[in-house]
Structure 1
Amino acid sequence: MTPVSHRAEAGGCPFHQASQEEAVSPTGCPVSPRAAEFDPFEAPYQLDPAEALRWSREQEPVFYSPRLGYWIVSRYDDIKAIFRDNHTFSPSIALEKITPASKEAQAVLERYDYGMNRTLVNEDEPAHMARRRELLEAFSPEALEAHAPMVRRLVREKLDAIVDRGRADLVAEMFWEVPLTVALHFLGVPEEDMEQLRRFSVAHTLNTWGRPSPEQQVEVAEGVGKFWQYSGEVLEKMQRQTQGKGWMYDMIEKNRQKPDVVTDNYLHSMMMAIIVAAHETTALATANAFRQLLSRPAVWDELCDNPELIPAAAEECLRHSGSVVAWRRRATREVSVGGVTIPEDGKILMVTASGNHDPSHFENPDELDIYRDNAVDHLTFGYGSHQCMGKNLGRMEMRIFLEEFTRRLPHLELEEQAFTFLPNTSFRGPEALWVRWDPAKNPERQDPAVRTAQHDFPVGAPEAHSIVRRVRVARAEPEAEGVLGVTLTDPAGRDLPAWTPGSHLDVVLPIGEARKYSLCGPPDAGDWRVAVLNEEAGRGGSRWMHESVREGIELRVRGPKNHFRLDESAQHYLLIAGGIGITPIIAMADRLRRLGKSYELHYAGRSRTSMAFIERLERDHGESLRLYPKAENQRLDLSELLAEPCEETLLYACGPERLLSALEAGTAHWPEGSLHVEHFTAEGALLDPKNEHAFQVVLTDSELTVEVPPDRTLLQVLRSAGIDVPSDCEEGLCGSCQVEVVEGEVDHRDKVLTAAERASEDRLMSCCSRAKGKKLVLAL
């Protein structure tokens, strides 16, 4: 859009002209009726900010709100782009009062000498990263692990107090108290001061992000002033002690060593800010999670039956209904966001809750899916150099809450109630959460060991391999010579999720390893079907499947996952399968047939008796099918098939590595991107410390530098540094852990990227690839 100062010479807004009655944005463009009506303090936004901005995501992803005086950003990619650039988009207004203080309220704050200044949340560069680097150590996964027993003890004490009661408000009895106590313990606040600080912390939220009335402003200012004054007294007491344990004591020592970096005022501001941030975000997020899970009894039952899903469920709740729903930035120059010009000094409200429901990034975003494998991409913790440092402490607390309740009160039920929220723009969670249960059914009454039989989880983002589903074998019969056909169903009788052609399951073997098997039945039948070749030269997985899988037994699987997705936009398709590689290819052929697309299916195998699905293929794909059984001297001639490249044709292939290698060589003269293959082995991708060298990695978005030693992968080092990178196979096969390369030469070891993509040096798979030299620069 055209800046207001240029409207006359440019002829006004390039999209439409404002009438005299219409409101206009600071750039002079008319404000649409929906934008003019938007008010984050009204019921729709307060009850469900993502739903309240659905219209924006679909029609007007960046708009100006006259009522708020902010530019609202609602889509995932736009919000992440703003987070990535904290030079253009200053965080300086993140803690600014969204409702200006009245003179009376301001006078109250001055009486208390309130001087909350910069913190990690609202500080610009270069000061921000200079301080953040000094403060990061205590938030590493290794350091946070030491706090888990304390969190567990606090949760268990609170649960002990109510477990035999049968009814409770979990916010009042558990979720409000425990995270605040954890935060105070983490800081090292003396026990005798904890109760007083608890009383003061709530006023800060309403003061900063709320819309209090003039009368409330004075009352809130009194609370904030007392909070500031008392936290300063506690800090002075801690500074007088020569020894003490906790994050604040570490910062007091940093203050002595580097007073120009960690200043006196900074200590005071950070202490107050962390009490609020570590307390309220976790308390509200936990209340949101229990509300969402208990309102879906089938999902709650799955968690109770399968505690391995708790980290994934907590992460999905953070995405679906996180406690931080919006954050603020200020444009330091005129800049375009989502095609809309935001002027210099324009104030921006990024509604992260809306971005977390953006269908362009999350499939079926309004569904709470505890099996979602990219929930970790959510924006609830922010992103980049200002991402929440305490995110892993919050994750730990949510997981321990869920683990204790699902083990000790699996029969918990949500009471029917009207939920209310503290009115503000940025933090959201119910003020009360009433639940009930029958104490006579408490498992620990029959088995006292249930009370302490805890299940612990690694600190950090959930890993995809922990998202495991239990399924039942409904059918296990030969599909061809040496090929076992297996049909899987949900043990509770529900339909299993639909999938797309190219999807596969990871079947988890009893030894803990997993094997990948492509789905090959109807994608929306409510069950899942795979076919397994008994490979004598394999690693033992297929042999176990053939020997052990019988009707009625339960299996543990991950997925469906699709790293071999069918592009449905081509004019013609060449589908090529070798042996058991027919499994993903037949699903693609079925889909293309339903779409009425032009395709050829070339299927090679040892003999007709060993080639799965021949009868079905001949019935459904007869005119498009070409069979090449070796026993009948039929041979697939790739040189002839691939001789003439076709501009509008895509090739999809699966089979032995020698077939895939021949296809890659045979399509070298075809247009880039014509060939798509799926690998199921990762030879050459595994780490060999004896033959590796260390290298340095600069992370531009986080403004950190890390060292990757010979015995660790890049992905492992990124996780240790608190950088959340999605991953799945961790063998270089799926592409989930791809990151953007800004600078450096890459030693590619994956089987995902094409030759041209590797040559561009603009991406790598962090699970296996490394630096050829001594340094890489990544956009993380």
Structure 2
Amino acid sequence: MSNGMIEDFDVGSDWHVAAPYEFLAGLRRERPVFHSEHLGAYVLTRHADVRAAYGDPKRFSSEGSLTISRSLTRETRDKLGEHGSFLSSFVANVDPPDHTRLRRSVSKAFTPRAVSAMEQHFRQLNEDLLDRVAPKGEADFVSEIGHEPSIKLTARFIGVPEADEGFVQAHVKDWFQLFLSPQPPDRQLELADSFLTYLDYVDRLVASRAKEPRDDFTSLMTSLIGSELSHREVVELISTILLGGNDTVPNQLANSVLRLLREDAWPVPPPLIQNAVEECMRIDGASLGSFRYAATDISLHDVIIPGKSLVLLSTDSAAHDETVFPDPERFVIDRPNADAHMVFGYGIHFCVGAALGRLQLRTALDVLGRRLPGLRLADEPIVYRKSIVGRGLTALRVTW
């Protein structure tokens, strides 16, 4: 590598999430199919290759790809039992025809009418939060502003009672750590306990809606058990949507606010908000990529990826590919093709919650820009969480 400092990914280091772009640019230039010892995976970094792999589920299979249990000890795996392959039936984690069936079921809940009703509710949640927080003049954006509206909206959508929101948030965080970031053996066992408690909770929620349906996502999915979905598929669908709403969307919002403040682009004029959201996702994506398995030997750029190998599709690198996004490290609020990023995936596995995620980001920037036009960064160091596939801040002190 011409960037002699860094030879491989390193999930434990600060640069891995905060500033990987020089390293990724070197890979795109010189080693577009890179074998990472650290990740135990081949890594695709060019936009065209990442998109082609997403679009080719026959060769780049999703079967079991989210199950990052390679880093789990035997003891942890035994404890998890059948749930060690958790997400084995989650939509992002299966191939057609199972995928087609799951996807069809889920999309029944995301009708345009349902999504627009959620916008009104989400706007109100943000306004209510700011009524409480605005008088303080300062806050940690991550813990006090960014998460709550998204958690509440997701809980209401799924059908999680308000009293259980904190429980769900804490357990989702544990789940994220267990499966998506490396942990020492004793911590793994604690997290596995927490995870099993969480699955048991979702399991009981599904059982109660089967008895008494309500107007929520869980009831809708539960009504399809037997005809279209299995009980376990419903439990896994619910838990993953809760992950998006409790973690990924709030992370993206905080990343976006940090970027806009650093670029002196706050508040964003309403006509520019939609594109600003896309450019923020492109340049500071909360999701760094997706894993796939090579279903067969795959030859690409004179490298053979052996069948059964794990492959990381680096959407983070793809979003900084200079052949698609000129001057990729520069934030351009009205960049014409900003939405060509693949933060929500691409092809058949395009994120089912993408419309809802985008709506939350646009609405939050609109309300926050209007209510806190004088928002600025406090003078504190910026620290990112360590993760294999996510970018999120541990805190973001702001004043206004």
Q: TM-score, normalised by structure 1?
A: 0.49
Distance 1:239 1:114 in 2: 25
Q: Does 1:193 align with 2:164?
A: yes
Q: Is the 8 A contact 1:112 1:229 kept in 2?
A: no
Letter in 2 for 1:273: T
Secondary structure at 2:136's aligned position in 1? coil
Report which of the two has the higher share of strand.
Answer: 1
The 5-angstrom pairing of residues 502-581 of structure 1 reads none
Letter in 2 for 1:346: S
Q: Does 1:71 align with 2:42?
A: yes
Partner of 2:283: 320
Q: Is the 8 A contact 1:326 1:353 kept in 2?
A: yes
Q: Does 1:300 align with 2:270?
A: no
Q: Does 1:418 align with 2:381?
A: yes
Distance 2:60 2:82 in 1: 33
The total of aligned residue pairs comes to 398
Aligned pair partner of 1:208 in 171, 176, 179: 179
Q: Does 1:253 align with 2:223?
A: yes
Partner of 2:67: 96
Higher relative contact order (CA 8 A, sep 6+): 2
Distance 2:390 2:50 in 1: 17
Report which of the two has the higher share of helix.
Answer: 2
Measured against aligned partners, the alpha-carbon deviations of 1:302-349 in whole angstroms (never above 9, x if no partner) come to: x1xx21111111111011111001210001011123442211111101
Partner of 1:368: 331
Distance 1:133 1:367 in 2: 39
Change (3 A) 1:250 1:56: same
Secondary structure at 1:329's aligned position in 2? strand
Change (3 A) 1:116 1:367: closer
Q: Is the 8 A contact 1:91 1:122 kept in 2?
A: yes
The 5-angstrom pairing of residues 604-753 of structure 1 reads none
Secondary structure at 2:109's aligned position in 1? helix
Q: Does 1:127 align with 2:98?
A: yes
Q: Is the 8 A contact 1:114 1:228 kept in 2?
A: no
Secondary structure at 2:192's aligned position in 1? helix
Letter in 1 for 2:366: E
Q: Is the 8 A contact 1:99 1:208 kept in 2?
A: no
Aligned pair partner of 1:44 in 6, 12, 15: 15
Instruction: Kindly state the Cα deviation for residue 143 of structure 1 after the two structures are TM-superposed.
Output: 2.6
Q: Does 1:331 align with 2:298?
A: no
Q: Does 1:398 align with 2:361?
A: yes
Q: Does 1:277 align with 2:244?
A: yes
Change (3 A) 1:427 1:113: closer
Measured against aligned partners, the alpha-carbon deviations of 1:673-704 in whole angstroms (never above 9, x if no partner) come to: xxxxxxxxxxxxxxxxxxxxxxxxxxxxxxxx
Q: Does 1:264 align with 2:231?
A: yes
Change (3 A) 1:311 1:134: same
Instruction: Kindly state the Cα deviation for residue 397 of structure 1 after the two structures are TM-superposed.
Output: 0.8
Distance 2:85 2:308 in 1: 26
Stretches of structure 2 lacking an aligned partner (at least 5 in a row): none
Distance 1:113 1:284 in 2: 26
Letter in 1 for 2:292: R
Q: Is the 8 A contact 1:359 1:365 kept in 2?
A: yes
Q: Is the 8 A contact 2:43 2:313 kept in 1?
A: yes
Measured against aligned partners, the alpha-carbon deviations of 1:636-660 in whole angstroms (never above 9, x if no partner) come to: xxxxxxxxxxxxxxxxxxxxxxxxx
Change (3 A) 1:266 1:404: same
Partner of 1:380: 343
Q: Which stretch shifts more, 171-180 or 376-385?
A: 171-180
Partner of 1:59: 30
Letter in 2 for 1:249: S
Change (3 A) 1:378 1:400: same
Change (3 A) 1:144 1:338: farther
The 5-angstrom pairing of residues 131-146 of structure 1 reads 131-146=102-117
Distance 1:155 1:371 in 2: 25
Change (3 A) 1:328 1:112: closer
Change (3 A) 1:273 1:349: same
Distance 1:194 1:247 in 2: 16
Partner of 1:610: none
Change (3 A) 1:115 1:70: closer
Select the structure of larger CA radius of gyration.
1
Instruction: Kindly state the Cα deviation for residue 115 of structure 1 after the two structures are TM-superposed.
Output: 5.6
Change (3 A) 1:343 1:116: closer
Change (3 A) 1:74 1:240: same
Measured against aligned partners, the alpha-carbon deviations of 1:508-527 in whole angstroms (never above 9, x if no partner) come to: xxxxxxxxxxxxxxxxxxxx
Q: Does 1:159 align with 2:121?
A: no
Q: Which stretch shifts more, 188-197 or 105-114?
A: 105-114
Distance 2:301 2:216 in 1: 43
Distance 2:31 2:379 in 1: 36
Distance 1:254 1:222 in 2: 29
Distance 1:324 1:113 in 2: 22
Distance 2:197 2:85 in 1: 9
Q: Is the 8 A contact 1:97 1:208 kept in 2?
A: yes
Distance 1:338 1:399 in 2: 39
Instruction: Kindly state the Cα deviation for residue 112 of structure 1 after the two structures are TM-superposed.
Output: 8.7
Distance 1:406 1:221 in 2: 40
Secondary structure at 1:53's aligned position in 2? helix
Stretches of structure 1 lacking an aligned partner (at least 5 in a row): 1-31, 438-780
Measured against aligned partners, the alpha-carbon deviations of 1:369-421 in whole angstroms (never above 9, x if no partner) come to: 11111111111111000000101111111111111111111111111222222
Aligned pair partner of 2:318 in 355, 376, 379: 355
Measured against aligned partners, the alpha-carbon deviations of 1:119-140 in whole angstroms (never above 9, x if no partner) come to: 1010111111122112213223
Aligned pair partner of 1:344 in 307, 316, 320: 307
Measured against aligned partners, the alpha-carbon deviations of 1:140-161 in whole angstroms (never above 9, x if no partner) come to: 3333111111111111111111
Q: Is the 8 A contact 1:200 1:223 kept in 2?
A: yes
Measured against aligned partners, the alpha-carbon deviations of 1:64-109 in whole angstroms (never above 9, x if no partner) come to: 0122210011110000000000111011233212543213323432
Partner of 1:184: 155
Partner of 1:639: none
Distance 1:132 1:34 in 2: 43
Partner of 1:311: 274
Distance 2:340 2:215 in 1: 34
Distance 1:381 1:139 in 2: 16
Secondary structure at 1:125's aligned position in 2? coil
Distance 2:180 2:84 in 1: 21
Q: Is the 8 A contact 2:152 2:162 kept in 1?
A: no
Distance 2:331 2:384 in 1: 21
Partner of 1:517: none
Distance 1:166 1:63 in 2: 47
